Amino acid sequence: MAPDTLSGGLADPATDAARAFRACLTALSRPGTIVPLTGAQPPAPLSVAAGTLLLTLLDRTTSVFLAPSHDTPTLRDWITFHCGAPFAAAEEATFALGTWAALDPVTRFAIGQPDYPDRACTLIVECDALSHDGPRLSGPGIKGSVRLSLPETAAFRANRALFPLGFDTFLTAGDLIAGLPRSTIVGDA
């Protein structure tokens, strides 16, 4: 076990996790809103926002798939020590983490079932940057429309067509996070 495994967690777990959970809720309930998310100091290649998100949402009952971009022994040890989350194949995971290219094809992730749409996978996509450039987003939680940099549009449009099924997505970059739930309509750039 590497020394990095034991460090990098939340300094004040109860308070930090509550703040982080609130940021996660804001990101998903207001799609396209970019909010800061800090607290963790995870090992590379994980961003601060993605690490904090994992510490907030993962536990022994939430399986995670690590895409090749993030599947390192150090990161596996860090997640195991801090979250206890089991690792799973892409098709069986509750959460999936990686860059967009490494998560492709996203059609392999669970989209829920008609009677249990909540059994879908949540993607945590590491991006180089997040900005209010890109495709126009509309739908629940968005007053009018907003723009958000997305790694692509076709997959998110196809995902929306499955609603109420489909995956939900957190986009992370550095210490920033944005949410893109399956209910969001992705328009033109």
pLDDT tens digit sequence for 52-103: 999 999 999 999 999 999 999 999 999 999 999 999 999 999 999 999 999 9
Contacts of 180 (CB under 8 A, 6+ apart): 31, 32, 137, 148, 150, 156, 168, 169, 170, 171, 186
Helix ranges (H only) for 40-173 are 48-57, 73-82, 100-103, 154-161
Distance CA 24, CA 26 (A): 5
Three-class secondary structure of residue 97 per DSSP: strand
Contacts of 105 (CB under 8 A, 6+ apart): none
pLDDT tens digit sequence for 147-179: 999 999 999 999 999 999 999 999 999 999 999
**CATH for 29:** 3.40.50.11310
Three-class secondary structure of residue 86 per DSSP: coil
Contacts of 35 (CB under 8 A, 6+ apart): 23, 26, 27, 176, 177, 178
Distance CA 10, CA 100 (A): 26
Range of the domain at 59: 3-186
The confidence score (pLDDT) of residue 150 equals: 97
DSSP code for 171: E
pLDDT tens digit sequence for 108-143: 999 999 999 999 999 999 999 999 999 999 999 999
Residue in the block written with tokens 């510490």? 55
Structurally, the chain folds into a number of domains equal to 1
Distance CA 116, CA 44 (A): 35
Average pLDDT, the chain: 93
Distance CA 46, CA 25 (A): 21
